[in-house]
Amino acid sequence: MNETLDRWTTRRAFILAVTGAAVGLGNIWRFPYMTGENGGSAFLLLYVAFVLLLGLPVMMAEILVGRAGRRSPSQSLAHLAMSAGRSPHWRWLGLFGALTVFLILSFYSVVSGWSIEYLIEALNGDFVALTPPEVGGMFDSFLADPLRMTFNHTVFMLLTMAVVAGGVSNGLEKLNNLLMPMLYLLLIVLAGYAATTDGFGPALAWLFTPNPAAITVEVVLNAMGHAFFTLAVGACALMAYGAYMPDHQSLPRAAVAVASLDVLVALLAGIAIFSVVFSQGMDPAEGPGLMFVTLPIAFAELPGGSVWLAIFFLLLLLATWTSSINLAEPMVAGLQGLGLKRGQAAAIVGVSVWALGLLSVLSFSTMKDVDWIGGMNFFELVTTIPTDLFLPVGGLLIAIFAAWVMSRDTALRALDAGPNGFRVWQFLVRYVSIPLVVVVLASGLI
């Protein structure tokens, strides 16, 4: 256990930290646009199924490894493998996780920067009395401006690294504890307002009317990737947090609490956003800009709309901030494991992630049409492959490690759910989650 880091002292603090990692852009930005691009209800159904069958059991597996190892992900994996008489090469899984979060954080910071832009514009009253096409135009001209986007991306990375450099912080978790319920409340108000618009019925139909015909291999792959992404599972990021989980806390209970909240937040955001889409005759498959062209319109209808829009983006930023801190943790913990000081590790991670993020920034202007692979520009590539491929592969390996490699007694103790709870979890991971990931990935490759 690294002495310089404090451990979350209460069960509640741990749940808050994991919630902070889970709830973020994945729920409010990514879930709606992926649902829109992947056939609506078909995607939603698969995503919920994957959360239950994969996300939850593998989330428990991942936190369990960290908790049992009480070290950085690589060190925990090597240590636990060796004490079970297995190969220390499992440590490479920690490195793979670090690569995954490196790629994810690089675009996550850029998109969080969009929220900074919107916060400022909302405070300026720039959205007042704009028509939907004008909101779209404003967003497009922002995307076409690499300097403004770089500025926001830089600010966001600085904010993230400032906290990360300080070590696992209770301060931000407390702030989160105080303010996140406000974000949920605001989403409930928005969804409630949406219920009074004529887009509400079509939005519900789009989200909840079964549509098996829309299910394709691609939709299944996207839904699986999103389930991992939204729960922050598969990149050893929760493993890094598991190292600080207090003793005597049921891991399944913590995981179920976090996952339920995460799904609920996504549903509320989806209802609010698709109601706007359908009442304004917009395209559900608009893509990554979906949230940014719909929410200003939704808020404009509310009394004091600009103020609420600004508050919303401020709260969203807080949510993405805690997710980014979690994304940075496996890299920083890894470098610390190599003997670097925490501040140095944070600086190295911050600068390299920032630099990679510039490629995402430019993907909306000068590098828009640069084909990196399969017709995707950099932003399209970096928002797809790490999520749809790396997270499931990482999750699969973590699941294999926890359910087949680690010693049974160590895993049993770290799950902290009694022998029966352990049996249920182990059965799910061994015979449901692991085969499911393998089958989906294999059908994706074919």
Question: Which residues of this protein are in contact with ligand PFF, per CB under 6 A?
Answer: 21-22, 24-27, 101, 104, 229-230, 232, 235, 237, 323, 326-327
- Indicate the residue whose CB is closest to ligand PFF: 26
Cβ proximity to ligand PFF: between 259 and 271 the closer is 259
Cβ proximity to Na ion: between 74 and 324 the closer is 324
Instruction: Choose the contact partner of 204 out of ligand PFF, Na ion, none; CB within 5 to 8 A by kind.
Output: none
Helix (H, G, I), strand (E, B) or coil at 125: coil
Instruction: Give the shortest CB-321-to-Na ion separation in angstroms.
Output: 14
Cβ proximity to ligand PFF: between 136 and 330 the closer is 330
Instruction: Choose the contact partner of 326 out of ligand PFF, Na ion, none; CB within 5 to 8 A by kind.
Output: ligand PFF
Instruction: Give the shortest CB-3-to-Na ion separation in angstroms.
Output: 31
Give 175's Cβ-side CA count (13 Å radius): 12
State CA 162 to chain mean position distance.
20
Sites for Na ion among residues 215-244 (CB under 5 A): 230
Instruction: Give the shortest CB-73-to-ligand PFF separation in angstroms.
Output: 11
Cβ proximity to ligand PFF: between 22 and 221 the closer is 22
Instruction: Choose the contact partner of 361 out of ligand PFF, Na ion, none; CB within 5 to 8 A by kind.
Output: none
Residue 223, CA distances (Å) to 40, 60, 212, 411 in order: 11, 20, 14, 29
Cβ proximity to ligand PFF: between 239 and 310 the closer is 239
Cβ proximity to ligand PFF: between 219 and 232 the closer is 232
Q: What are phi and psi of 225, to 5 degrees?
A: -60, -40
Instruction: Give the shortest CB-234-to-ligand PFF separation in angstroms.
Output: 7
228 and 234 Cβ atoms separated by less than 8 Å: yes
Instruction: Give the shortest CB-1-to-Na ion separation in angstroms.
Output: 28
Instruction: Choose the contact partner of 25 out of ligand PFF, Na ion, none; CB within 5 to 8 A by kind.
Output: ligand PFF
Give 141's Cβ-side CA count (13 Å radius): 5
Instruction: Give the shortest CB-100-to-ligand PFF separation in angstroms.
Output: 7
Q: Which residues of 413-427 are buried (b: 16+ CB within 10 A; e: fewer)?
A: ebbbbeeebbeebbe
Q: CA angle, corner 127, sides to 122 and 133, nearest 5?
A: 140
Q: 112: Cβ–Cβ under 8 A, 6 or more apart, which residues?
A: 25, 152, 153, 156, 317, 320, 321, 324
66 and 243 Cβ atoms separated by less than 8 Å: yes
Integer Cα distance of 160 and 263 in angstroms: 25
Binding mask 14-43 for Na ion (x = CB under 5 A): --------x---xx----------------
Sites for Na ion among residues 244-283 (CB under 5 A): 262
Helix (H, G, I), strand (E, B) or coil at 373: strand
Cβ proximity to ligand PFF: between 26 and 242 the closer is 26
Cβ proximity to Na ion: between 115 and 336 the closer is 115
Instruction: Give the shortest CB-182-to-Na ion separation in angstroms.
Output: 18
Angle between helices 41-50 and 217-231 (to 10 degrees): 50
Q: What is the CA radius of gyration of the chain?
A: 21
Number of residues that bind Na ion (CB under 5 A): 5
The DSSP output letter for 376 is: B
Instruction: Give the shortest CB-225-to-Na ion separation in angstroms.
Output: 13
Alpha helices in 56-169 (DSSP H): 56-69, 73-83, 91-123, 132-143, 146-165
Instruction: Choose the contact partner of 386 out of ligand PFF, Na ion, none; CB within 5 to 8 A by kind.
Output: none
Q: Which residues bind Na ion (CB under 5 A)?
A: 22, 26-27, 230, 262
